[in-house]
Amino acid sequence: MRKKTLLWLSAGIIVLLLFPTFLPRFYVYLASIILLYGLLATSLNLVLGYGGIFQFHHCVFYGVGAYGTTLMLTKTGLPAVFAFFAGPLVSAAFGLIMGIICIRLSKLYFGMLQISLGSLVWAIVYRWYSFTGGDDGIHGIPIPEMLSSPNSAYYYTLTVTIVCLFVMRKIINSPFGSALQGIRDNPVRSEMIGINVRRHQLLALVVAGFFAGVAGSLFVVVDNTVFPDMLFWTLSLEIFIMCLLGGWFTFLGPMLGAAIIIALRTFVSTYTVYWALVLGIIMMLVIFFLPNGILGYVEEKFKKGFIEPEIKE
Amino acid sequence: MDFIYSIIPAGVLSQVFVGLSRTTILFIVASGLSLILGVLRIPNVAHGSLYMIGAFTAFTVTKIFGSGSAGFWMALIIAPLVVAFISLIAERGMFQFLYEREHLMLLLLTFAFSLVFGDLVKLVWGGEYKSVPVPHIFQGFVPLFGGLPFPLYNLFLLVAGPVVAILLWLLTNKTKIGKIARAAAVDREMVGAVGINVSWVFATVFVIGCYLAGLGGVLVAPTVSVTLGMDHNLIIEAFLIVIMGGLGNIWGALLGALIFGLTQSMGILIWPQFGIIFPYLAVVIVLLFRPTGLLKSTW
């Protein structure tokens, strides 16, 4: 890492650390939500942007992670630490199962089978009143005293998010990450040079599932609730927009996209109920004028980093 | 007929017919989606919203023309045309510029449209439940299989489904535009090279597909309460039907809709609490064994 980047990074982290000292309570909560959605969007970008896998229903992993954590906390007497690890691990296992079932299909079929599996999970969660709380969800989840105040929840979210982003960055820059990007750009050639395409994609799904599950468990800490909408497909598309707006092929793009979308939603919702309309129009503008997203545009403009050429199927 | 009645309980039989009338709606919407997917390769998420717009427009039209039969027939003519017109504007205004780009962008654009349409419906019609009256001539019940009462309107739906299927088959297989469209689905450049304006072929197919979504919306309106959010579940169901049947295959869409409609209605009968999972389960099972759908895909 270059010295300048390091400087900017530490400055950013210090500002983030100081947030709760000067921001009102509500904004601290909002910042936590932004961080965990950013983590979720980054994990989607790991498979979709870098891996080229049509991950249409990513929020299932998020929801499974959140429900996994919640059910561990409410139904078992185990210490909370186990629950926070159990959620993401359940998501990762779910990613493995989904991968084994879906990975042999190509692009659109993959995405569609994933949506049907995801809808299946959603329907079960939505109706299993005795176990998951059904369409009401579960409220007032008992989380450890240490994390129950907004500030401590924020610090916890911040720490976990930074650690996860760091690990994901390492994964993308590792030989595994390079192989994944190679598969995205040209699966046939990758196969020819001896990369096991399916195994790499499967692993990518497991990794992305894990980090999406972490985001889910963070939501449990920040909001103390879970509800079936966390698994509904419209949320998946919202996460798509976050990646699109921030920039697919940039590492921090999804984080930026999440921040903009969530901040806008909060801001717009206070004035009008027509948030979806605003979001739709923003999306159209981005698709037509900023196809590489904001960070992609910035990188292109200033040639500071390197942006990959226009995406090919 | 008494023989059938003696081995299958009346409840099951009536549920089968409920499922079949649901199948009609699902098929009409899904066939439009299948057409757009097969030819233009657009996973049109806004399809559900167009279905919703069709239903709401039907409400307005029947309001204007009165709740008699005339209102319904006018709705059946006008509402799908309104939807088709909206889709024409969307296609010429936006989609046509993105065909060269990757599918993900088209998918996201259709999602943007579904968000915009959803809120526009809220803006125009408000958030309350609307109900469209069953037209006079289809009110009442007919006795089926030894006195089982079955709504006349659902019987009308059972006829409408196959009619649309046959018309659509004739359109895609027997007419020139259908043949051009199928050729364009396979090799776009070649069709362009022989001097056919592919851009307008695509526009036509898109508008016909969206017309079907609107038609589905009008037909479903008298049987359900017309409400915001009726698009969300339907669009996923329609997608799964198309995938299950084989992309771009009209008969596949019919078969998929049949499986979906019947598992839905039977599921509710067998296990009320988890009835809604059966159609999804059916899709997963089908795709596990036939990953590219039941029938041959045009892709």
The pLDDT tens digits for A109-134 are 788 788 888 888 888 888 888 888 77
As a whole number, mean pLDDT of residues B137-164 equals: 80
Q: What is the pLDDT of residues A37-82, one digit of tens each?
A: 999 999 999 988 888 888 888 999 999 999 999 888 888 877 778 8
Coil vs helix vs strand at B200? helix
Q: Are A239 and A58 in contact (CB under 8 A)?
A: yes
CB B117 within 8 A of CB B206: no
- Residue B104: CB atoms within 10 A of its CB come to 20
Please state the pTM of the whole predicted model.
0.86
- Per-residue pLDDT band at B28 (split at 50, 70, 90): very high
What number is the average pLDDT over the span B150-159? 86
How high is the mean pLDDT of chain B?
85
User: pLDDT: is A19 or B51 the higher one?
Assistant: B51
Q: What is the CA radius of gyration of chain B?
A: 19
Which H or E run contains A214?
helix A197-223
> Mean pLDDT, to the nearest integer, of B107-132?
88
Contact residues on chain B for A242, CB-CB shorter than 8 A: none
pLDDT at residue B67 in the model: 65
Q: Which of B199, B208, B233 is nearest to B34 (CA)?
A: B208
- Is there a contact between A108 and B43 if contact means CB atoms under 8 Å apart? yes
Contact (CB, 8 A) for B97 and A288: yes
- CA B278, CA A233: separation in Å to the nearest integer? 18
- Residue B214's pLDDT is 93
Collect all residues with Cβ–Cβ distance below 8 Å to B122 and sequence separation of at least 6.
Answer: A273, A274, B228
* Contact partners, residue B187, CB within 8 Å, separation at least 6: none
Contact A167, A39 (CB under 8 A): no
Which chain A positions have a beta carbon within 8 Å of B264's beta carbon?
A: none
**What is residue B174's predicted lDDT score, i.e. its pLDDT?**
85
Residue located via tokens 């590792």: A174
Identity of the residue in B45, B277, B287 whose CB atom sits nearest the CB atom of A113: B287
Q: How far apart are CA B59 and CA B71, in angstroms?
A: 9
- How many Cα neighbours within 13 Å face the side chain of B109? 23
Dist CA B287 CA A126 (whole Å)? 23
Q: Which residue is listed with tokens 């709760």?
A: A20
User: Of B101, B239, B273, which is closest to A127 when you measure between CB atoms?
Assistant: B273
Burial (0-12, 13-18, 19+ Cβ within 10 Å), B2? exposed
Amino acid at B112: A
Which value does ipTM take for this structure? 0.83
Of residues A22 and A159, the one with the higher pLDDT is A159
Cβ contacts below 8 Å, chain A against chain B, sum to: 114
Cβ–Cβ of B94/A281 closer than 8 Å?
no
Contact B111 A237 (CB under 8 A): yes
Hey, are the CB atoms on B280 and A119 less than 8 Å from each other?
Answer: yes
**Which pLDDT value is given to residue B8?**
66
The alpha carbon torsion through A68, A71, A77, A80 (nearest 10 deg) reads 50
Cα separation of B156 and B28, whole Å? 14
**Is the per-residue pLDDT at B88 higher than 90?**
yes
Which among A215, A67, A39 is positioned nearest to A134, based on CA atoms?
A67
The helix/strand/coil state of B143 is strand
Question: Which chain A residues touch B113 with a CB distance below 8 Å?
Answer: 280
- Percent of chain A predicted with pLDDT > 90: 22
pLDDT value at residue B6: 60
Residue B154: its H or E element: helix B152-174
* Residue-level pLDDT at A305: 47
Residue A307: the pLDDT is 45
How close A283 comes to chain B (CA, Å)?
6
Q: How confident is the model at residue B147 (pLDDT cuts 50, 70, 90)?
A: low
Chain A closest CA to B192's CA: distance in Å? Answer: 22
Q: Do A113 and B243 touch (CB under 8 A)?
A: yes
Kindly report the nearest CA distance between residue B21 and chain A, in angstroms. Answer: 23
Measured in angstroms, the CA of B60 and the nearest CA of chain A are apart by 22
pLDDT over 60 at A312, yes or no: no
Query: What pLDDT is attached to residue A8?
Result: 83
Query: What are the tokens at B125?
Result: 């019609």
Q: What is the H or E stretch that residue B151 is in? A: strand B148-151
pLDDT band at B74 (very low <50, low <70, confident <90, very high): confident
Average pLDDT score over chain A: 85
Q: Cβ contacts (< 8 Å) between A116 and chain B: which residues?
A: 240, 243, 280, 283-284, 287
Most confident segment among A98-102, B255-259, B265-269: B255-259
Q: What is the pLDDT of residue B210?
A: 94
Best of B33, B40, B108, B115 to substitute, by most chain A Cβ atoms within 10 angstroms, is: B115
Task: State residue B151 phi and psi, 5-degree precision.
Answer: -60, 135
* Mean pLDDT, rounded, for B180-187: 82
| Of B115, B284, B292, Cβ closest to residue A280 | B115
pLDDT value at residue A66: 92
pLDDT at A309: 46
**Spatial contact of B71 and B65, defined as CB atoms under 8 Å apart:** yes
* Nearest Cβ partner for A123 among B103, B115, B280: B280
Q: What is the dihedral of CA B259, B261, B266, B271, to 10 degrees?
A: 100
Tell me: the pLDDT tens digits for B261-275?
Answer: 999 888 888 887 787
B66 phi/psi in degrees, rounded to 5: 85, 160
Neighbours of B43 (CB within 10 A): 25
Judge contact between B5 and B145, C-beta under 8 A.
Answer: yes
pLDDT of res. A306: 47
Please tell me which residue, B111 or B296, carries the higher pLDDT value.
B111
Q: What residue has token string 């009645």?
A: B5
Q: Which residue has the tokens 């990762």?
A: A92
Given a cut of 60, whether residue B2 has pLDDT beyond it is no
Beta-carbon count within 10 A of B32 CB: 32
Quick: pLDDT tens for A251-293. Answer: 888 999 999 999 998 988 888 888 889 989 988 998 888 888 8
Structure tokens at A219: 């939501």
Q: Which residue of B has its CA nearest to A105?
A: B291
Rounded Cα gap, residues B251 and B242, in angstroms? 10
Q: Which residues of B touch A277 (CB under 8 A)?
A: 115-116, 119-120, 123
Side chain identity at residue A8, one-letter code? W
**How many residues are recorded in chain B?**
299
For residue A98, the chain B residue with the least C-alpha distance is B284
CA gap B259, B278 in Å, rounded: 10
Q: How far is Cα B72 from Cα B222, in angstroms, rounded to an integer?
A: 9
The DSSP letter of residue B144 is E
* Strand residues in B18-154 grouped as ranges (E): 141-144, 148-151
Q: Looking only at Cα atoms, what is the longest distance across chain A?
A: 56
Compute how many other C-beta atoms are within 10 angstroms of the C-beta atom of residue A176: 16
Pairwise CA distance, residues A276 & A280, whole Å? 6
Confidence of residue A195 (pLDDT cuts 50, 70, 90): confident
Percent of chain B with pLDDT over 90: 21
Neighbours of A269 (CB within 10 A): 12
- Please tell me what DSSP assigns to residue A251: S
Q: What is the mean pLDDT of residues A131-143?
A: 81
| pLDDT range class, residue A310, cuts 50, 70, 90 | very low
B101 contacts A283? CB cut-off 8 A:
no
